[in-house]
Structure 1
Amino acid sequence: MKFTVFLFIIIMATGCKNREPKTHNDIKLLEINVTQSDLPKFMDQIKVIDICQLETNQNILLGSVRKVTCRFDRYFIQDLQTQSLNVFNLEGKFLTKIGRKGKGPGEFTELRDFSITNDSIVHVLTYQKIVKYDIKGKLIDEIKISHINHLNPLHLATDDGKTYFLWQGTFSDDSDRKYMPCLLYSFDLNGKKVKNQYFPIKRTIVDGIQFNNCSNGIILRPTFGSNTIYKIVGDSLFDSFTVDFGKDQLDENLLENGFGNNVIRQYMNLRSNSKYCVGIDNVLETEKYYYFTFFYDKRMKQLIYSKNTRNYCIDNVNPFTYMICTNNNQLVSLIEPINFSMLKEFFSKGKITEESYSKLEKIKVDKSSNPILIVYEINRF
């Protein structure tokens, strides 16, 4: 039976207070030296173990992929252009679409984000509501979010299906920020109330993929200038690990506060011309490794860090090794068909190993094909 839960979110001055994420006693410090000359070679630490060509037909043409999650032997792919959530099996066969665009029951006006819980429920965030489906696309229920109190989240995560973490960001205007002064809110579905609010807003935040699934929770992308990565486990938010870039670390106090164009200009300048390591993003975690990207010396870098040995490797990001999700203990990249024209060039420059090149060059694609997912195994180092 379908049913609708109306959730009225009221934040009183004496009710919901700013919270600091819980601190684990074993929080990890990743000490990174980006100029170290004897680091393991990045390309030698990964190898292609599977290639998933996503089925292409008139009913399933992906336009602009925003987010990919692998759960229950399926790839869930959010497409911005068509505002759709598409499901493929691990061989790339199209299975179904989750929900559809519209204003009726079980439909969404826009697909902002989604999260998948261990009970195989897909939680889709749209304007003013969260819609829940099973992994075959059957509607389960809807949760109406009252917009009266200025809650207008862009991203969603839930680990247990009972507590939702909603990323408000700085999408709202000045009047909204008086009522919603933080970036992240959690609320209890059963109690129909906001539980906590995190990260008081200091400056404009550039939007991105805020949440990524991992084997034991959900990773929260750090805000620009912060090097602490947080994790959602159940109904709690924890600090998971902190990256220390040493002499190349950016002092967050150098960042301008506020919401003017000067904040955006500083953000863009630090990404493109900085002598500092900035903008940690796209954080992924497997049982044994961390992966994330950042900017340094005018380039976007990618890093793999071994939890066991504390060794790490760094390289410039390229279209074939930019990882977007995990599949069990493997990393997965998504390649647009147009990028295959650069395959030989990247191989000649040593950005792709001979073993990987021999597998990738066999892929037959044209410009109208859907993207290809490449699954990489990480060698022990």
Structure 2
Amino acid sequence: MKKVYSALMFLLILSCSPKQEKIAEIEIDINPNAAEGFIGSEDILDTVGCALIPLADTEKPIVRVTKLQVQNSKYYILDENTHCLHVFGHDGKALFSIDRQGKAGNEYLHLTDFHATKENIYLLDFLSKKILVCDSLGKFQKKIDIGEYWANGLSVIGKDLYLINDDSKPQDGAFHFFQIDEDGKCINKLLPFELQAGFGSDKDYASFGNGEFLYCQAPINTVYQVTQDGCKPILDINFGSRALPEDYYTLNLRELLRKGYAKNYVLGIDKIFANDNYIFLKYRYGENNYWIIYDRGAQKVKKHCRGFGPENMYQMGLSDFTVQDGWVYEISPAYDFIQHQKYYTPKPPLEPRYEKELQEVAQRVTEMSNPVLIRYKLK
């Protein structure tokens, strides 16, 4: 089995990139006694530009944020529970919402993903296998039929759309990426696969506005970089003896849990975020979540820990954060934010500025309000 898998991975790497390039490989020691715990993050976060941004209430309240993107000084927030895309100004003011659930050609059954550019907003309907294209103000423009493909995610580079396929085999072949134009015509198919994982990542790709996106799907712990020139592996993470054995790759998550494998092995990378300087990778081992921050310039791990807490700022730990360009955003439900402000005990004491901001925002929102966006600048 191992020889077959190794041969397959070699072919995948060749098919993903026309040029063979050296892959940075990192070995992770995940011994709980050796890993860092919940640490401060002042060496990667700057106090300049950090802010609390309460998001104004919308007609449909935000229940569960599944994606945040920042574009044109606007915040685009997808709530997959209500199938709405909400757009806010840089100050948190509600600009408009896209709520098109239905069966018509200009509607979606399940708003799975989106990507906003300067000109357009692309909405992925996983169930109807189509993409709705809206202008920058949310007005419907056209529909792109993607019935020949299968897409769990969506990214846009230039004028090309990239359909991200985790583990399905559509009629056009088993490829992780289908590069299409705005008419739905296939331009390229990238990263073929044969082995199907029985489970997927929570957030398996990182898309940002520099002409690339990164992809890493459990249980194969290789990070791929996708650009208009193709895709290539850039980072391979080796969990050593705690990596999930290849013989278990085809088991689904229920079987892995039932047999206890989820307690003994790392099932793979759960989330990936990135910008020009860092790659953030989250994985689970045993009962704990761990984060890896990989420095892209130095090509080494900068931090490997259980979590982050900006101690000299708002002291609200980074747990469900996202990375966009040069910023880190934590989305805190209003109820959690109010409880934190009401009961937390600062250690060390907060500077007056941060304490004042926390109090003012806590007084502005109610437990039923939309979330508060907490913004930090990456160094």
Among 283, 298, 302, the residue aligned to 1:312: 302
SS of equivalent to 2:336: helix
Question: 1:347 deviation in Å?
Answer: 5.2
Q: Is the 8 A contact 1:336 1:372 kept in 2?
A: yes
Distance 1:335 1:66, change over 3 A: same
Q: Is the 8 A contact 1:333 1:373 kept in 2?
A: yes
Question: What amino acid is the match of 1:28?
Answer: A
Q: Is the 8 A contact 1:211 1:218 kept in 2?
A: no
Please say if 1:120 is aligned against 2:119: yes
Aligned position for 1:285: 274
Aligned position for 1:253: 246
Aligned position for 1:43: 41
Question: 1:132 deviation in Å?
Answer: 0.9
Please say if 1:184 is aligned against 2:176: yes
Among 21, 26, 33, the residue aligned to 1:25: 21
SS of equivalent to 2:330: strand
CA offsets 1:271-295 (integer angstroms, 9 cap, x no match):
4x23x44432321112222222111
Question: 1:317 deviation in Å?
Answer: 3.9
Question: What amino acid is the match of 2:140?
Answer: L
Question: 1:180 deviation in Å?
Answer: 6.7
Distance 1:306 1:353, change over 3 A: farther
Among 197, 204, 216, the residue aligned to 2:198: 204
SS of equivalent to 2:157: coil
Aligned position for 1:10: none
Question: What amino acid is the match of 1:125?
Answer: L
Q: Is the 8 A contact 1:320 1:334 kept in 2?
A: no
Please say if 1:296 is aligned against 2:285: yes
Among 173, 188, 197, the residue aligned to 1:195: 188
Distance 1:325 1:135 in 2: 22
Aligned position for 1:11: none
Distance 1:314 1:166, change over 3 A: closer
Aligned position for 1:236: 230
Distance 1:330 1:168, change over 3 A: closer
Within 5 Å, give how 1:129-208 maps onto structure 2: 129-146=130-147, 151-167=149-165, 169-170=167-168, 177=169, 179=171, 182=174, 184-189=176-181, 192-193=185-186, 195-196=188-189, 198-206=192-200, 208=202
Distance 2:250 2:133 in 1: 37
% identical equivalent positions: 19
Question: What amino acid is the match of 2:376?
Answer: Y
Q: Is the 8 A contact 1:89 1:95 kept in 2?
A: yes
CA offsets 1:306-330 (integer angstroms, 9 cap, x no match):
3345352233347740254334311
Q: Is the 8 A contact 2:86 2:98 kept in 1?
A: yes
Aligned position for 1:335: 332
Question: What amino acid is the match of 1:286?
Answer: N
Please say if 1:84 is aligned against 2:77: no
User: Unaligned 5+ residue runs, structure 2?
Assistant: 1-10, 309-315
Distance 2:328 2:129 in 1: 34
Q: Is the 8 A contact 1:54 1:370 kept in 2?
A: yes
Aligned position for 1:69: 69
Question: 1:31 deviation in Å?
Answer: 4.4
Within 5 Å, give how 1:257-276 maps onto structure 2: 257-258=250-251, 261-263=254-256, 265=258, 269-271=260-262, 273-274=263-264, 276=265
- Provide the TM-score with structure 2 as the length reference: 0.77
Distance 1:41 1:24, change over 3 A: farther
User: Unaligned 5+ residue runs, structure 1?
Assistant: 1-16, 171-176
- The more displaced of 61-70 and 253-262 is 253-262
Distance 2:20 2:119 in 1: 28
CA offsets 1:26-46 (integer angstroms, 9 cap, x no match):
643344444546899433333
Q: Is the 8 A contact 2:36 2:305 kept in 1?
A: no
Question: 1:343 deviation in Å?
Answer: 5.3
Distance 1:235 1:122, change over 3 A: farther
- Provide the TM-score with structure 1 as the length reference: 0.76
SS of equivalent to 1:363: helix
Question: What amino acid is the match of 1:313?
Answer: K
Distance 1:203 1:308, change over 3 A: closer
